[in-house]
A and B are shown apart, each in its own frame.
Chain A
Amino acid sequence: MIHDQATYARESEDVREPLLSEKGSSTVDVSAESPLPDDLTREEVTLPSPSEPEIARHYTRLSQMNWSIDSGSYPLGSCTMKYNPAFTEDVAADPNAAVHPDRPDESVQGNLELMHRLQEFLAEIGGMDAVTLQPPAGAAGELTGILIAKAYHEHHGNDRSEVVIPASAHGTNFATAATAGYDVVELPSGEDGRVDLEALTAAVGEDTAALMLTNPNTVGLFERDIAEIADIVHDAGGLLYYDGANLNALLGRGRPGDMGFDVMHYNVHKTFATPHGGGGPGAGPVGVTDRLAEFLPSPRVREAETGRGYERFEPAESIGKVHGFQGNWLVLIKAYAYIARLGDDGLADAAAKAVLNANYLAERIELDVPHGPFHHEFAATAGDRDAADVAKRMLDFGVHPPTTKWPEMVPEAMLTEPTEIENKSSLDDLASAFNLAYSDVEEALENAPNRTAASRIDQVGAARNPRLSWQALDEE
């Protein structure tokens, strides 16, 4: 399969679609029009002033120069790029749900009940006892979880300074631990790609606040020793944090709470199919076991103590807040709708087909996959080819390539997660793209891509000479 991405060109100006500012701006004399005294206003403001038809064409053209799940395969490892069910958009667009966060509880019972239901769904799915919906993204969920761990230790008079993280973990884990004020202890991966129990035992101790673990891990392997891992961490007085990025592999077959995890986040934009929106918004609810419930952010939602309806409340030892209000509400509605659509059978089937697809695709590609048995994703190696070049060449064959050069334990890694939405024939196409690119001549790889809106982009130049606005371009 080949794919020519739409493009627009103004060759005389060496640009594709011109910037809004290049289509015409206007300047408003603010101080002249303002009801405020001059010393409280700016003098003028200059912004683009396109007509609505121009806007419609501008953004439609831009959209045509943008790959998406609805364009084709998007097997970015660790990102879980599932189809985003259209109907969830309509559910979330209900104007009755669009209320202000400061409305009193009794006047927003519908919203509170949906939040309560979603808290219960997520608790059940994760094997957790209590859930907050507030964190607005996965990394925000991580921070929430680690702040809860910190508050828990401090509450018990323990001053612990370290968070242990496997080398193969997502970068956010390390950055989160640092943001919460912890020193990071990096755990080298074992020979088989999993946690090495001896190394773990050596790494944990009285300074350990938590171990952050992704399971299946970032090359798709289930940490089979999870019960022992939990014992080692708990015996040292630490807590076990579950990074929910790979939860899609486990739906209906394993729950973090049953594995000994104390606190976890859910990436609803991954596991529960809410749109990724070009980078966000997502949502990163956090679940905890009973002993941590009192530390959750405020507010949480519970059945009202009066017995009628639902109410918000502040947990007794709450860490406070991680978002100014209650998080990414519109995203949470979509997650609720997705879970209610699938139910037990659908959720388990999603995991089964995600794992089936990853295994089938790995079987069909010519690249080696060093670690297994993997689940919903696998890290193939491009061997003596440059994984980034292979990825660029794949763009010419009508697919988005996998995550490249990560995790580092696999040389020239191509971390691939097809998700459950692909069928056999689209996986065969995806495999062809892999194989054609992987076996192509060096020159073709270096010159790729050719069928995309832009050819290979100069990243080094962009960083060396940062131009981050049309004002910066105008100065040249």
Chain B
Amino acid sequence: MSGSPYAPHTDAETEAMLEAIGVDREEALFDIPDDVAFDGAFGIDGHTERGIREECAALFERNDDAVEFLGRGHYGHYVPSVVDHLSDRSEFLTSYTQYQPEVSQGFLQALFEYQSMLVELTGLPVANCSMYDAATALAEAAMLADRVRATGGDVVLVPDHLREGKRAVLENYCDGADLTVEAYPMDDGIADVDALTDRVDDDVVMVYAENPTVRGCIEERLAAIGDVADENDALFTLGSDVVALSVLEEPASVGADAVVGEAGALGLPTSYGMGLGVFACRDDYLRQVPGRLVGASEDADGTRAFTLTLQTREQHIRKERATSNICTNQAWVALRAAIHAASIGPDGLVDLANDCVREAAALAAQIDELPGATAPVHDRHHFREFTVRTEQPAAAIAGDLANDGFAVHVVGEHLLQVCVTDLNADRTDDLVAAFTEVI
């Protein structure tokens, strides 16, 4: 193949264009000194479209075909076909940030609707139109806390049971702001509020809790955590996901100042960790919010119209004083989450969430009956996932289960974690049968 299939110039056109410019060949347009010029030989062969599709399909077929009982921050639920078909409309997919709102009303309205759904789910009045994922959203919340809390403190408190990757991202952002991340202890799977109360003082700029926790436990004393944070003038940030938010305690009602988490649980199939970060907060912090915000306004004809707004917070205007460096975000994933939420409606969403509670409890009870296994480890209510204590080494059991075509998490020497959603709920009996064999 010669040339890019997506550069449509005929030779005659190229000639005419070169002539109009006044040069005789394309090379003459490059002002690159010889000592840093490159000869173009990457050693990458071009392929046909069909060849690439076949090659990649063959590559992906080499992934084992496993039934995944995996969660810990990345969740798969069934995504209705209408989500793919509408979000794949190229008017959405091939557009960019709405710098010219007059020709971008469609995406702006869709993002405004997404923001509104998060306002409903969190009870907080401000939600942006996406962060990259739950981990970066948490990090941005810590940056917000550092800006808005005038305590002079430098500690961000997080639960002891926090996904390692999430904490690693948080630490990277905190390092630049001279903040320190510390963990507070857990009590049988949920926050140890007494220990937390002892720990929180003027040094703390933010208290972070998750509901459900990464082990799937539902927090029982969120309002108390909110009070502890509030009494010490620390920001209370709550982590969750859009499905859990539809049934669990409303963050605003327990005193949350900010909500972060994962919205890709709707709209995004399991995708090797790709996400959609939620960021919502109280009105007081409106001008400190990271990322893009869509607002309602009107056009010259007096008709309601939407536009990106409060952009003086952002990097392209405020530069090093911006609230965040984020530019490109996850807007299209937010569109998908909104379509998914609309397509199942509040009834479907609540049903989905309730099944996450019921199925987890039912599967844990089944596993608990097996000799050599205790589930759930924590005497709490669970959402989607729970841990299993095993007499045999957990890694060996997980390895045996993998040979039978099931994937579960190993989270300790004798600790497994199992996640059940609508996608694998019809395979729980098979999982239990496999467990019975290998345990």
A173-224 interface with B by 8 A CB criterion? 174-182, 184, 221-222, 224
Q: Which chain A positions have C-beta within 8 A of B215? A: none
In the complex, whether A350 has a CB less than 8 A from a CB of chain B is yes
Chain B residue at smallest Cβ distance from A102 = B70
> Interface size bucket, B side?
35 or more
**With A66-B103, A110-B62 known to touch, is A175 a contact of B319 (CB < 8 Å)?**
yes
Task: Tell me which of A49, A89, A322, A341 contacts B169 (CB under 8 A).
Answer: A322
Chain A residue at smallest Cβ distance from B81 = A52
Task: Tell me which of A59, A175, A349 contacts B322 (CB under 8 A).
Answer: A175
A347–B125 Cα distance when bound, in Å, is 47
A121–B97 Cα distance when bound, in Å, is 28
B42 touches A252 (CB 8 A): yes
Task: Tell me which of B45, B249, B346 contacts A41 (CB under 8 A).
Answer: B249
A364–B22 Cα distance when bound, in Å, is 12
Contact stretch, chosen from B133-141, B201-209, B365-373, B427-435: B133-141
Q: Which chain A positions have C-beta within 8 A of B198? A: none
Q: Which chain A positions have C-beta within 8 A of B111? A: 278
**A/B pair count, beta carbons within 8 Å:** 669
In the complex, whether B16 has a CB less than 8 A from a CB of chain A is yes
A222-273 interface with B by 8 A CB criterion? 222, 224, 226-227, 250, 252-255, 258-259, 267, 269, 273
**Measured between C-beta atoms, what is the minimum distance from B274 to chain A in Å?**
5
With A171-B327, A324-B134, A401-B100 given, name 9 new contacts (CB 8 A): A36-B247, A94-B60, A171-B318, A253-B30, A255-B38, A277-B335, A279-B331, A469-B119, A472-B125
Q: Which chain B positions have C-beta within 8 A of A363? A: 20-21
**With A349-B7, A352-B26, A469-B115 known to touch, is A279 a contact of B310 (CB < 8 Å)?**
no
A179 touches B325 (CB 8 A): yes
In the complex, whether B330 has a CB less than 8 A from a CB of chain A is yes
In the complex, whether A109 has a CB less than 8 A from a CB of chain B is yes
Contact stretch, chosen from A134-142, A300-308, A379-387, A432-440: A134-142
**Measured between C-beta atoms, what is the minimum distance from B133 to chain A in Å?**
5
**Measured between C-beta atoms, what is the minimum distance from A162 to chain B in Å?**
12
Chain B residue at smallest Cβ distance from A42 = B250
In the complex, whether B248 has a CB less than 8 A from a CB of chain A is yes
B4 touches A347 (CB 8 A): yes
> Interface size bucket, A side?
35 or more
In the complex, whether A411 has a CB less than 8 A from a CB of chain B is no
- 14 A-B residue pairs with Cβ-Cβ distance under 8 Å, sorted by A, are A5-B103, A55-B342, A56-B82, A68-B94, A107-B66, A108-B64, A121-B44, A276-B95, A284-B328, A323-B136, A341-B52, A353-B4, A359-B29, A455-B102
**Measured between C-beta atoms, what is the minimum distance from A467 to chain B in Å?**
4
Q: Which chain B positions have C-beta within 8 A of A94? A: 56-57, 60
A281 touches B330 (CB 8 A): yes
In the complex, whether A64 has a CB less than 8 A from a CB of chain B is yes
Q: Mark B377-404, 1 if CB is under 8 A from A, else 0.
A: 0000100000000000000000000100
